[in-house]
Structure 1
Amino acid sequence: MVSRSISAARRVVSGPNKPALIVSLLVSLFAALFVTSYSLAMSDPQPHDVPIGVVSPGVTPEQLDQALESVTTTSFDVEPFATEAEAKNALEEQQIYAVLVTDATAGSSTTAQLFISSASGASIARIIEAEADQIGQKLGITVTVTDLNPLSPNDPSGLVLFYLALASTIIGFVGAIQTRVNAGGLTLAGELAWDAGRAALVGLVITLTTGPIFGFETFPFFPVWGVLSVAVFIAGAVYSFFRVVIGGKWALVPTWILFILISNPSSGGAVAPELLPPFYEFMGRWLPTGATVRALRDLTYFPEAPHAEPYLVLGAWLVLSTAGFVVARRIKFGAGRLDRVETVKPDAGGADARTAESEKDGAAAG
């Protein structure tokens, strides 16, 4: 019985069973990491140092900060503004998430306006709006809430833009995988051309589906198409780089770690950056998915106040990922065609055994 068990165990960790076992263990590990990463980032969002403003001769930033923290048990960074127009401009520039405006001293019988911006961060806007009455009671004023940048009625949770970025990322590297698997004889120029064409097509379809066809969001068509196409291309280029450097068998692993485990949950699309743990808040600013979400948010809800940073981040990823892939591809395989060779030959016992897949430069033959 013991010898049979040992023999069975050896069969599991040898021959074709060995890679199957490794893949099963890795998939299980990544499933646990996926759940852990998204749960840490999104399951219990806690605001910290949320920037808001105040315009009032009587309510000081310290008073508002104390009122907010006593009601919400979270931390805020309250900035005073001289005029309502200046504060609203900061709100439009997404420098702050809300602003309290009053023209009377705290404790007197008066009303105040609390301006929020759901499009800047739906989760933060909900927290502030839900506690507006208690905040007013702490300050001795009656607060009226006004949303200056409401979300689309078809997207009350503000998740559509995150889904756009998420789809672009996943389809980006899945498309690159399928292209390399099913069109293995492409030259370097051919790979880049199909990557660009596929990215443009995917970006077009996603933009059409979300905008004109179903009307989930209203946005400028061509700029959004461009951003999504770039996001698709970046994800594919990153995978293609890893495929050349470490081989097709394991290239998906670092790609999955980068995009699915880190970039997507830290993007600030599902949960505002100020509600994310510090690691995710920092990483989301410099990774492709976060840049895509911010660019889409500006184009959709703040077209008059765009930010350069997300475009610079996407541009840097586009250039570096493409350059990395091109350089690695030319060094390892040249710029010609890649022929995927798989042979079958009998082993010592007469059974068929597959040799490892190899990739070689067939430029001379082509």
Structure 2
Amino acid sequence: MSTAPTGNARRMIAVALLVPVIAALALWAFAWPAARTAPRDLPLGVAGPAAATAQVEKQLTQHEGAFELHHYKDEAAARDAIEDRTVYGAVVVTADGPRLLTASAASPVVAQLLQQAVAEQAAADGAQVRTVDVVAAPAADPRGAALNASVLPLALAGMAAGAVVTFSGLRGTRAVLVLVGASALVGVAAAGVADSWLGVITGGWWAQAGVFGLSALAVSGAVAGLAALLGTAGVGIVAGVIMLFGNPWSGAASAPQMLPEPAGAIGQWLPPGASATLTRSVAYFDGAAATGPALTLAWWAALGLGAVLLGSALKDRRKNAEPRVTERELARVG
């Protein structure tokens, strides 16, 4: 009796059940952070004498868990902290009333949130808040939409490069050279579009090209590296992680501290989140706080390329071992 119909039925049932599970997982990964967007330990500065800022700090702490307050002696110190990306903004207490310092380049969403929160508190006290944008987003991209939109294409370019290298049969040093070369060209092309054409990037052209290229290499290296170790299934695994978690948890649309935990932290460990953070640092803050995300991308790239070389070496070892095993077996038979 043939078991083929039974096997086909099982596969059909498995596929029918798997598709809605994947759809539910994707909806959760994308919708959960969006539905729970709110400040969580968002770094915010308070500047001025301790006696003068006590009331402001008390009001801000009423938003339980929303802000991580940093105290600065004056406005100049608060501005330096914003430019160093230590805080997203600062409330400066002056004799003329509170002044809010923001950095829309760090996150237009956070800048708007701070304006609303501080303005509401000031209105309750009968005061008005003056807002100063210390590091403004570029005029060509005031809402950060272009930067947010760049995260997915860079990830897709990296996945495509890694998949092409894998399915074309390139291995070892040749695969590494192709991945590095393709990522460098992606970086140049991306900088040409974002800077030279659209004007949404204001940092150094070659520095930004390097960031884009490293972002693509982190993904392409991971795809090709895992595929070299696990086979073509590695392409799907990395692509699934990047698409389901890396993209929606990147914090590019708002900020990592605006996402529910652990999505905010995990997103910064994945290439899309590290890429978005590094892009902001290099493009708008002269490289401030760039070390962490740069190291994250470098580790992804290094481990991925190392896996490519390791996978090639393991395959060569297996191929070299097979003839020797066969010869020994033949000698025993003889």
Match of 2:332 in 1: none
Partner deviation per Cα, 1:182-237 (whole Å, 9 max, x = no partner): x23x3422222221221122222122111112323333111111111122122112
1:176 to 2:162 alignment? yes
Residues 219, 300 of structure 2: 8 Å contact kept: no
CA drift at 1:290: 1.9
1:32 to 2:53 alignment? no
Q: Distance in 2 between matches of 1:30 and 1:272?
A: 26
> Taking structure 1 as the reference length, what is the TM-score of the superposition?
0.78
CA drift at 1:53: 1.5
Match of 1:218 in 2: 202
Residues 46, 74 of structure 1: 8 Å contact kept: no
1:265 to 2:248 alignment? yes
Residues 97, 129 of structure 2: 8 Å contact kept: yes
Match of 2:263 in 1: 280
Query: SS at the partner of 2:262?
Result: helix
Q: Distance in 2 between matches of 1:58 and 1:230?
A: 44
Count of residues in correspondence between the two structures? 318
Q: Distance in 1 between matches of 2:32 and 2:315?
A: 39
Residue identity opposite 1:10 in structure 2: T
Q: 1:301 aligns with which of 271, 284, 289?
A: 284
Q: How does 1:112-127 map to 2 (within 5 A)?
A: 112-127=98-113
Residues 122, 272 of structure 1: 8 Å contact kept: no
1:150 to 2:150 alignment? no
Q: How does 1:37-52 map to 2 (within 5 A)?
A: 37-52=29-44
Query: SS at the partner of 2:137?
Result: coil
Q: Residues 259 and 217 from structure 1, CA distance in 2 versus in 1: closer, same or farther, beyond 3 angstroms? A: same
Flag the structure with larger Rg.
1
CA drift at 1:157: 2.0
Match of 2:179 in 1: 195
Residues 65, 77 of structure 1: 8 Å contact kept: no
CA drift at 1:79: 2.3
Match of 1:99 in 2: 90
CA drift at 1:286: 2.4
Q: Residues 37 and 80 from structure 1, CA distance in 2 versus in 1: closer, same or farther, beyond 3 angstroms? A: same
Query: SS at the partner of 1:113?
Result: strand
1:233 to 2:224 alignment? no
Identity %, equivalent residues: 24
Q: Distance in 2 between matches of 1:50 and 1:260?
A: 26
Residues 165, 289 of structure 1: 8 Å contact kept: yes
Query: SS at the partner of 2:100?
Result: strand
Residue identity opposite 1:317 in structure 2: W
Q: Distance in 1 between matches of 2:196 and 2:293?
A: 25
1:318 to 2:301 alignment? yes
Residue identity opposite 1:143 in structure 2: V
Gaps of 5+ in 2: 320-334
CA drift at 1:33: 1.5
CA drift at 1:298: 1.0
Q: Residues 58 and 196 from structure 1, CA distance in 2 versus in 1: closer, same or farther, beyond 3 angstroms? A: closer
CA drift at 1:269: 0.9
RMSD: 2.8
Q: Distance in 2 between matches of 1:85 and 1:147?
A: 14
Gaps of 5+ in 1: 1-6, 105-109, 337-366
Match of 1:163 in 2: 149
Q: Distance in 2 between matches of 1:9 and 1:139?
A: 76
Residue identity opposite 1:55 in structure 2: A
Q: How does 1:13-28 map to 2 (within 5 A)?
A: 13=9, 18=11, 26-28=18-20
Residues 159, 239 of structure 2: 8 Å contact kept: no
Q: 2:237 aligns with which of 254, 257, 261?
A: 254
Q: How does 1:44-63 map to 2 (within 5 A)?
A: 44-57=36-49, 61-63=53-55
Q: Distance in 1 between matches of 2:171 and 2:38?
A: 50
Q: Distance in 2 between matches of 1:153 and 1:9?
A: 63
Partner deviation per Cα, 1:229-288 (whole Å, 9 max, x = no partner): 12212211211122223221x223321332122222222211211111120122123222
